[in-house]
Amino acid sequence: MERSKNKKILLSLILSIPFVFGGFITNDSMTPSFKMTKIVLDAGHGGKDPGNLGSRSKEKDINLAVTLLVGKYIKENLPDVEVIYTRDDDSFPTLKERPMIANNNKAHLFVSIHSNSAANKSAFGTETFVMGTKHFDANFDIVKRENSVILLEDNYEENYEGFDPKSPESYMMFNLMSKVHFENSVTLADHVETQFKDRVGRKSRGVKQGPFYVLWTPSMPSVLVELGFLSNSTEEQFLMSQQGKEYMASAIYRSIRDYKESIEKN
Ligand SMILES: [Zn+2]
């Protein structure tokens, strides 16, 4: 009992190291010459993990199609930005590998794209998450669902050092994040939700906080976008349509463009 407690404390300390140091890292965006030139786009789920299931669609397919379109628009319109995908096909990168791809490439931005689901079939709208634990209880269901992908991975017990996505206690260690990265994440998330609402006419459920594993380890501003609810038949139909995908992808592209502009001006 005592041993496992000590182990847990030690684990929290080890896991919080990137955040402690993250706080001391100078913010690239504060230097006048900073250019946002490298972005990692992460299509949620894939391969043996379908994500949320609509009545006719799988989350992993919608996420991938929209993500590839976002990358295409960035390449066409922002030629100085390098786009890196965590997956560009129906493969299954683990939750740990996704942010690691961003860290190893020293990316300036990490955008994870998902589609939502709820027991209440009338729920609809977009939401964009940044790393954080505000309103933890209200958002725990969706956080748990997204993080539970870990359970599909081989050797998850060793790879995630005892982190249990279903236990609220496991999330105690998620608290620390560098302030600048947090603020920049919120700036981008605001742009995304504004674009969805004002330009595509979607219902925005707002910018929220959640301790998503995939947002926890990237050492750069990061957001997780929920495009809409596959459990809502109207929204599912919209997201399944080519036009719907193009609208959502162009909104995300424009928000990244606006974020880049604002951060390079500072
Ligand atoms: Zn998802």
Cα 36 from Cα 81, distance rounded (Å): 7
Residue 23 lies in a domain: no
How far apart are the CA of 25 and the centre of ligand 1, in A? 30
Rounded to the nearest angstrom, the distance between the alpha carbon of 6 and the centre of ligand 1 is: 33
In a domain, 62, yes or no: yes
State the residue range of the domain holding 241. Answer: 38-265
User: Which pLDDT score is estimated for 210?
Assistant: 87
Q: What is the DSSP letter of 53?
A: B
List residues bridging with 126 in a β-sheet. 204
Asked if the structure places residue 6 within a domain, the reply is no
* Cα 147 to middle of ligand 1, angstroms: 9
pLDDT of residue 150: 86
Distance 224 CA to ligand 1 centre (A): 9
Query: Helix, strand, coil shares of the chain as percentages rounded to 5?
Result: 50, 15, 35
- Tokens for 71? 């990358």
The pTM (predicted TM-score) of the whole model is: 0.83
> Beta-strand (E) ranges in 121-193?
126-131
Angstrom CA distances, 53 to 49, 82, 83, 123, stand at 10, 32, 28, 15
**CATH number of the domain residue 148 falls in:** 3.40.630.40
pLDDT tens profile 1-27: 444 444 444 444 444 434 433 333 444
Neighbours of 18 (CB within 10 A): 18
Spatial CA neighbour of 52 closest among 114, 133, 125, 143: 114
Q: What is the pLDDT of residues 134-184, one digit of tens each?
A: 777 777 888 888 888 888 888 877 777 777 888 877 776 665 557 788 899
Residue 130 CA to residue 109 CA, distance in Å, equals 12
Q: Is residue 149 part of a domain?
A: yes
List the 222-229 sheet strands across, edge first: 82-85, 38-43, 109-116, 222-229, 126-131, 204-210
Q: How many domains does the chain have?
A: 1
Whether residue 10 is contained in a domain is answered as no
Residue 106, domain member (yes or no) = yes
Ion ligand 1, residue ranges at CB < 5 A: 44, 51, 114, 146
CA distance 7 to 222: 29
